[in-house]
């Protein structure tokens, strides 16, 4: 059943229209129906926007009420908490290319060891943000649009930049 749902998702499901197309909620439910049967764990009321790619989904866990943004690219072991909001074109990768050997071209070294990514609860990830292997983003954090996150951040962090750095804490007084 899982393989069949994966096939249908990539053939049809990921191409279904989204808001503001009339009936978009029905298409969200169709994508949710498929994704719930593909990924390792899928919470309640998850919204998967169009053209999301997550490979075979076997190492992807999605919390309740999380939204996967349009054109999201997710690869490897990724744990998404509850109430995550993603803008379009997000990239979250738990794997990268090996590049340790100087005597072998990088494109022939294969993949580096997978390092799981964990995104906490109530996190907003802005448009075109990139989250690299091994990163943990704490609960209630905000990742600015275009940020390249190469290290982990504590809860309530507002982060941005290339590479991403702490801009402020959401708990700071104004």
* SS3 category, 29: helix
Residue 90 CA: distances (Å) to CA of 49, 126, 133: 12, 8, 14
Q: Are 79 and 116 in contact (CB under 8 A)?
A: yes
SS3 93: strand
- Please check whether residue 114 is in contact with residue 94, taking contact to mean a CB–CB distance below 8 angstroms: yes
Is 140 among the residues known to form the active site? no
Per DSSP, the three-state class of 15 is: helix
DSSP state of 54: -
Which residues are known catalytic residues? 97
């Amino acid at each position: 059943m899982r393989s069949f749902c994966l096939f249908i998702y990539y053939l049809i499901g990921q191409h279904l229209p989204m808001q503001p197309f009339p009936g978009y909620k029905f298409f969200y439910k169709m994508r949710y129906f498929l994704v719930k049967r593909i990924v390792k764990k899928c919470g309640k009321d998850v919204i998967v926007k169009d053209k999301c790619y997550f490979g075979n989904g076997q190492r992807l866990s999605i919390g309740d009420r999380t939204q996967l943004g349009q054109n999201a690219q997710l690869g490897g072991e990724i744990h998404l908490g509850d109430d995550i909001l993603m803008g379009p074109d997000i990239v979250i990768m738990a794997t990268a290319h090996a590049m340790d050997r100087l005597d072998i071209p990088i494109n022939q070294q294969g993949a580096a060891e997978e390092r799981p990514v964990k995104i906490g609860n109530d996190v907003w990830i802005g448009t075109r943000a990139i989250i690299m292997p091994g990163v943990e983003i704490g609960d209630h954090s905000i990742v600015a649009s275009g940020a390249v996150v190469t290290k982990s951040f504590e809860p309530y962090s507002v982060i941005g930049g290339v590479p991403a750095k702490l801009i402020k804490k959401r708990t700071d007084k104004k």
